[in-house]
């Protein structure tokens, strides 16, 4: 595979095949954790780490795993990975664990990871799968960052904890709740689709 297409694998996840905004994967963690920018980015980065590792392992085992039992195999590998990462963080980086700890169990049920194992890692080489993991992870983090920014700004009047206008106008509480999550998701998704279509038409 040439350099050109490797770059494409990496960039695909950002906009064109963004896992959240285009492929509509991982919706549950997206809606749940994006009440603030910090939470969104924390979830995005932890999911990316697991995604890259699980993509590598599944790509490594792609010729060993029989088709019939591939899904249980992926789940065992992913859940094992997540638990190992959780234990290691808890033991050696307790400060990081204190801020990310809550997101880690949520990663097991993140369907982006299972989705990429099924759609990409079991058909491609280790290196390409790792690149796909990084690209998709960045795309996920980017989408969570956008959602988190919108919800924190409108819901709290702050951005990344910095006071923007919360001292003058109180935030709209609904953006901190589930309905606000759906509103923001729809608006951002529509905007991305609009720009993608415009670019495609040119």
Partner 1 sequence: MKSNTYKEYIAPVVVLVCICLVVTAALALVYGVTDPIIKKNSKATADKTRTELLKDADSFTEYKGKLVVEQPGAVYVKDVYVANNKAGFVATCVTKSFGGALTMMVGVDKEGKVTGVKVTNHADTPGLGTKDFEAGYLSQYKGIGELKATNVKDDGQIKFITGASVSGSAVHYGVYAALHQYKDMGGVK
Which residues contribute to the site for partner 1 (CB under 8 A)?
A: 32-33, 35-36, 39, 61, 64-66, 68-69, 72-73, 76-77, 79-80, 83-84, 87-88, 90-92, 94, 102-103, 105-106, 173, 176-177
Q: How far is the CB of 102 from partner 1 (least distance, A)?
A: 5
Beta-bridge mates of residue 162: 159
Residues 125 and 109: their CA atoms lie apart, in Å, by 25
Specify the residue, 60 or 196, whose C-beta has the smaller distance to partner 1. 60
For the CB of residue 85, give the shortest distance to partner 1 in the complex, in Å. Answer: 9
Interatomic CA distance for residues 118 and 62, integer angstroms: 10
DSSP single-letter state for residue 176: G
- 3-class SS at 21? coil
What phi, psi does 28 have (nearest 5°)? -60, -55
- Residue 3: phi, psi to the nearest 5? -60, -40
- Give least dist CB 118 to partner 1, A: 16
Q: What is the DSSP letter of 14?
A: T
Give min distance, CB of 5 to partner 1, in A: 31
Closer of 88 and 190 to partner 1 (Cβ): 88
- Tell me whether residue 38 or residue 189 sits nearer to partner 1 (CB atom): 38
Closer residue to partner 1 (CB): 10 or 49: 49
Pick between residue 19 and residue 40 the one whose CB is nearest to partner 1: 40
Compute the least distance from the CB of residue 34 to partner 1, in Å: 8
Q: Of 167, 58, 55, nearest to 112 (Cα)?
A: 55
| Strand ranges in the chain using DSSP code E only, listed in sequence order | 158-159, 162-163
């Amino acid at each position: 595979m040439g350099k050109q297409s490797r770059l494409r694998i990496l960039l695909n996840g950002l906009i064109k095949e963004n896992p959240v905004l285009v492929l509509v994967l991982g919706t549950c963690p997206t809606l749940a954790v994006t009440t603030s920018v910090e939470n969104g980015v924390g979830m995005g980065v932890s999911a990316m780490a697991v995604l890259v590792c699980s993509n590598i392992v599944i790509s490594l085992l792609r010729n060993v795993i029989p088709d019939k039992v591939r899904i249980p195999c992926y789940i065992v590998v992913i859940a094992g990975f997540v638990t190992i990462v959780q234990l290691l963080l808890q033991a050696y980086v307790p400060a990081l664990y204190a801020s990310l700890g809550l997101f880690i169990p949520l990663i097991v049920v993140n369907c982006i990871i299972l989705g990429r194992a099924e759609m990409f890692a079991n058909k491609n080489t280790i290196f390409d799968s790792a690149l796909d993991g990084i690209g998709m992870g960045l795309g996920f983090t980017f989408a969570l960052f956008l959602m988190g920014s919108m919800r924190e700004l409108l819901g709290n009047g702050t951005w990344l904890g910095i006071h923007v206008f919360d001292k003058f106008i109180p935030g709209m509480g609904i953006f901190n709740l589930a309905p606000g999550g759906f509103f923001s998701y729809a608006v951002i998704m529509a905007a991305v689709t609009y720009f993608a279509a415009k670019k495609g038409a040119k």
